[in-house]
Structure 1
Amino acid sequence: MSTAGDDERTEELETLQSIYPELVLDAPFAAHIDLAVAPTIPLPVRFEPAQDVHRVAYLPPLRLEVDLPAEYPAEGPPRVKLSASFSWLPPDTVDRLEREARSLWEEYSGGQVLFAYVSYLQEAAETAFGLSELTLPDSVKTELLEFSKRMKRELFDKETFDCEVCLEPKKGSVCYRMERCNHVFCVQCLQDYLNNCIEEGDVNNVKCMSTDCGKLMPNGKKKERLLSPKELLQIPLSLQAVERYAKIKRKKKIEADPTIIYCPRSWCQGAMRTDKYPKIKDVREMDESDSEAEEPVEAPPEEQSTAPGPEKRFVGVTGMDRLAVCEDCTLAFCKVCLASWHGDFVRCEPRDKNQLTEEDQASLNYIMKNTSPCPTCSVPCQKSYGCNHMTCFQCKSHFCYLCGAWLLPENPYGHFSNPRNKGCYNRLMDLVEGDMGEGQAQFGGARGAEQMADFWEQEAMRIQNELNAQDS
């Protein structure tokens, strides 16, 4: 025979089920519900014994089991039990949350409290129930992280976003959210842009496409982070494209580092082994720590010179500091004389330029005569078309192609309109068709010095030929 109390309990559970359809009735006066736990700020989780920390955005749901005794609601509180998969919620936190059911019942003076209690748990879940960090065994790490990743993707797929490139509304299932900045683009736009950058070797632009992205530095420039190979594979890009990206990025870093020595074997020319730029093994394991956009490498003060050469680079290099091992052919050689490794106690001298191969010397001569070096990273640049305001492909520095001077990014053209810059004044459009299109022009800086030296060498040869002709 039903009583008024039975009707109250039944009515409350039915009302709660109409609000939360996921509520499951287990018995006439018992039910359970799984409450999502998605903290507003991802919760740091430390996994022992490795002690690695991950910020988890979605935790396994909190299960609330409710049993309404006969004395509820007038004379007694509801009986509640809380639990979660992997037992991730600390026991003292569980006890505190369960005691809140009685506190609410007392506050409501014996009234119905299930809706208020569920609301309380949902609000507490947004702050991870007041936890600042979790410590869990390493055995649950994979499942917990996979759960968070799966939940994040499922919720994302159901939303609709405006792609910041094509500006069309797209379902989340065909979009990708950047890991660091949370900007959203459709996968097609991302793939088109990133594949094009990688194909052209422009790896310094493999980053978020949003104009709002990047950290503003004190000098007014934006420092933007490159995307990691692991994230590129998630977008997804092909493994072949990501491997090309990682290799080109590593190659550019090595080439910009004046401390790296190359194998003396003419058929190898591999870089020396270094922990600074470890050889790529598996791009699928390369995370964000390998993808920072780095500033051009500068040599220590004692290694810098206006005309760097071996005699400057190796000042103070002694003993085992001279040993280098090629990362490709494993040849052990001396950094100073480039001979096969001869031990610690053999005195050696730097090789001079006369020891370059004929092919290397020809390449060096061409570079010196036909390119202008970037004033920041020294990468040789050659203009194919346009004005003499250049932007370095590698480090993005602005400079003058004629004299090699560094230009202010906010006003690069002022250099060409200043009468005090006599060598470049009103010469913005000189060589508009590039070096190959218009031939020689008067340069300044290092290229100008090379040009002048070549001119006097040719003059000396001409005079010598005239004298020889007179003698004969």
Structure 2
Amino acid sequence: MSDITIDDVAVECSSMQEDEITVLESIYPSLITVHENPDDKPGRLLSLTIPIAFATPHEIHLDTISGPSASLQLSHLPPLVLRVLLPSVYPLEEAPRPIHLRAPIPGGEKAGNWLPKLKLRQIQNKLVEMWDEEKQLNDEGMGIIWRWWEWVGTGDFLTDLEMYNGSSLELSISPLLSPSTFHTMLKTYNASQIHSDFRQTAFSCSICLENRKGKSCVQMPGCGCVFCTPCLSSCWSLAITEGSLENVSCPSVSCTKQRALRERGAAMDNDVTADLVESVVGSSLKDRWEDVKEKRKAEIDPSYTICPRPSCQAAVPAPDVPVSITFDSRFTSKIIRLSEISSTATESTLSSEANTKTDSTIPTEDRWARHRSCPKCSYSFCLYCNATWHGPHTPCAFPQTSLIVSEYLGYPEGSEGRSRMEMKRGKANLERMVAKYFEDEANKSWLESKTRPCSGCGVRVEKSHGCNHMTCGRCNSHFCYRCGDPIKPTDPYKHFNTPGKSCYQKLFDQEEIDRFQREAAGGEVVGGEGGADEDWREFRGIWEW
């Protein structure tokens, strides 16, 4: 050892420093800075930005002079910034010298440190002690920067500095910041780091089963399931186009099963936001999703109605606070509606008397409850007649189409009564009204005879074939097509297996069973040795069960 000079040690240490810095820069490329040394002074000057990430979220308590003010769950804390000088004979003979240590608050250049100065000095002293401990164990100095990084980056230094109160980390708030501002800064930094970690991590898409980086994926809020953006975009685009709002959510098998067991309408109460939908399917489909969502809300919530303007059709909620307005009856004026001028004297009298009689018994504040204002187009209208708001004292002018058509058809063809009505309202107009009236009646008759209303949302459902256990495509309600009663999704066939019910053992109607048997007997679907195919055996097993 006597032949080894100080220059030889410096050369070896310089090589070891190069190796240590190269390894750290390959792992943390943007967090280590080697400063220039234009004067060729001995040693190297480094700046280390060490982020702090916990393995699991930690509870953080923020303390003020008056006491604890708030708590939050964090997985990341702002980094410590260390400027350190590596002597020319580090790591063999001398310890690295921490020159300056800061704990800057993110987003607040003049807000100071999130750790007090006393704690920062204790950290600096501990960093030097760690090199001394390594030298005592190995009889010579060792590279210590990696160990520093682990000690700070995992948050172990917080335990060594006794900053925990039980399982909670106690942090003091800088006197330059208010508690709410400090709370927001920490929470914002934590969210940005979680997002950054997600973008750099590889995930397996549950739809296409390919591994993709997080920057090409979407993580569902709430459940945390991850899918690649193209797959989720295809699923959601189809659901929005078809108007299936409940499918604009997590498409995983487990989450889909949970939604199927929820009550009607609960499928809309998920954590999917408009910003998330827009990032996946674009602004055009996002707008359609919002429109359909508003309309569906109006269909489910009886307090909502739809804006009557054809160009709007937005969901209009009921007023938050009922309006109570009283007027002195001495100052009410007579208002003549233009729509009433074209009606006959008899119709005007009957309509006015009926409406006046009805409205006279309704308090003024209740009549104001009819008022609605569309939040989208600001159209102010009456809830009862959908006309522009006519005030609480003017009766609604309900359409008299059915009465006019009935009166017109009541006159014989070519009679004076028909001629008089044709001259007054126009023959073409009356013929259109009659055609529309018969069309509506035919549609109503067909719907009553060929369809069954959903027990959940009331939409009419037609069964083309199959069993009587129906699932609504709009609200996912399960119901019986024969009687219309709701069915439990967890045990749908109990309804058809309960003695005494009108649907007992009638999962399939007799005509369906006869059709199955005719097709099987006719040889259209047969098995290998002339028997029924496996699919037909399954059908037969269902209806016999």
Do both proteins adopt the same fold according to a TM-score greater than 0.5, normalized to the shorter chain?
yes
Structure 2 counterpart of 1:402, which letter? R
State the secondary structure of the residue aligned to 1:176.
strand
Structure 1 counterpart of 2:288, which letter? R
Q: Aligned to 1:392, which of 472, 494, 516?
A: 472
Structure 1 counterpart of 2:242, which letter? E
Q: Aligned to 2:371, which of 323, 348, 351?
A: 323
Q: Aligned to 1:151, which of 193, 196, 202?
A: 196
Structure 1 counterpart of 2:298, which letter? I
* Alignment of 1:82 onto 2:102: yes
Where does residue 248 of structure 1 map in the other structure?
A: 292
Instruction: Work out whether residues 78 and 101 of structure 1, in 8 Å CA contact, stay in contact via their aligned partners in 2.
Output: yes
- What's the CA shift for 1:250? 1.8
Q: Deviations over 1:302-327 (max 9, x none)?
A: xxxxxxxx99xx99971421212356
Where does residue 523 of structure 2 map in the other structure?
A: none
**How many residues are matched?**
386
* Alignment of 1:427 onto 2:448: no
CA distance in 1, matches of 2:128, 2:370: 78
Structure 2 counterpart of 1:209, which letter? P
Instruction: Work out whether residues 25 and 32 of structure 1, in 8 Å CA contact, stay in contact via their aligned partners in 2.
Output: yes
- What's the CA shift for 1:2? 4.9
Q: Deviations over 1:295-352 (max 9, x none)?
A: xxxxxxxxxxxxxxx99xx999714212123568765443345565343356779999
1:372-411 residue pairs with structure 2 within 5 A?
372-411=452-491
Q: Aligned to 2:148, which of 117, 120, 138?
A: 117
Deviates more, 1:145-154 or 1:376-385: 145-154
* Alignment of 1:189 onto 2:212: no
Instruction: Work out whether residues 398 and 406 of structure 1, in 8 Å CA contact, stay in contact via their aligned partners in 2.
Output: yes
Structure 2 counterpart of 1:103, which letter? K
Q: Deviations over 1:344-391 (max 9, x none)?
A: 356779999968996595455554444322223333322233211011
Deviates more, 1:32-41 or 1:7-16: 7-16
Structure 1 counterpart of 2:370, which letter? R
Which consecutive unaligned segments of at least 5 residues does structure 2 have?
Answer: 38-42, 63-70, 136-140, 164-168, 174-178, 321-357, 405-432, 513-545
CA distance in 2, matches of 1:329, 1:74: 75
* Alignment of 1:34 onto 2:113: no
Structure 2 counterpart of 1:67, which letter? L
CA distance in 2, matches of 1:131, 1:11: 42
CA distance in 1, matches of 2:116, 2:471: 60
CA distance in 2, matches of 1:347, 1:33: 78
- What's the CA shift for 1:155? 1.2
Q: Aligned to 2:245, which of 193, 197, 203?
A: 203
- What is the TM-score normalised by the length of structure 2? 0.55
Where does residue 103 of structure 1 map in the other structure?
A: 126
Q: Aligned to 1:334, which of 362, 375, 382?
A: 382
CA distance in 2, matches of 1:401, 1:123: 61
Change (3 A) 1:406 1:13: same
Instruction: Work out whether residues 49 and 82 of structure 2, in 8 Å CA contact, stay in contact via their aligned partners in 1.
Output: yes
- What is the TM-score normalised by the length of structure 1? 0.62
- What's the CA shift for 1:415? 1.7
Q: Aligned to 1:228, which of 273, 292, 312?
A: 273
Deviates more, 1:413-422 or 1:91-100: 91-100
Which consecutive unaligned segments of at least 5 residues does structure 1 have?
Answer: 47-52, 278-309, 434-472
CA distance in 2, matches of 1:274, 1:220: 24
CA distance in 2, matches of 1:261, 1:35: 56
Instruction: Work out whether residues 38 and 125 of structure 1, in 8 Å CA contact, stay in contact via their aligned partners in 2.
Output: no
Deviates more, 1:126-135 or 1:101-110: 126-135
Q: Deviations over 1:136-156 (max 9, x none)?
A: 489999x96996487346513
Where does residue 93 of structure 1 map in the other structure?
A: 115
Change (3 A) 1:36 1:276: farther
Structure 2 counterpart of 1:231, which letter? L
- What's the CA shift for 1:20? 1.5
Q: Deviations over 1:263-291 (max 9, x none)?
A: 678x77946733799xxxxxxxxxxxxxx
Change (3 A) 1:209 1:102: same
Whichever of the two has the greater Rg, that structure is 2
Structure 2 counterpart of 1:31, which letter? L
Structure 2 counterpart of 1:32, which letter? S
* Alignment of 1:238 onto 2:255: no
Q: Deviations over 1:116-145 (max 9, x none)?
A: 43222111299999477985489999x969
Change (3 A) 1:261 1:116: closer
Change (3 A) 1:37 1:76: closer
Instruction: Work out whether residues 69 and 78 of structure 1, in 8 Å CA contact, stay in contact via their aligned partners in 2.
Output: no
Per residue, is there more helix in 1 or in 2?
Answer: 2
Change (3 A) 1:226 1:248: farther
Q: Aligned to 2:24, which of 4, 9, 20?
A: 20
Where does residue 67 of structure 1 map in the other structure?
A: 85
Q: Deviations over 1:221-274 (max 9, x none)?
A: 79672633321232x323322222222222222122323345678x77946733
State the secondary structure of the residue aligned to 1:93.
coil
CA distance in 1, matches of 2:295, 2:84: 62
Identity %: 25
Change (3 A) 1:401 1:105: same
Deviates more, 1:175-184 or 1:101-110: 101-110
Structure 1 counterpart of 2:304, which letter? I
CA distance in 1, matches of 2:402, 2:377: 25
Q: Deviations over 1:53-72 (max 9, x none)?
A: 99987777543211357999
* Alignment of 1:169 onto 2:211: yes
CA distance in 2, matches of 1:261, 1:268: 15
1:243-322 residue pairs with structure 2 within 5 A?
243-262=287-306, 270=313, 273-274=316-317, 318-322=366-370
Change (3 A) 1:387 1:103: same
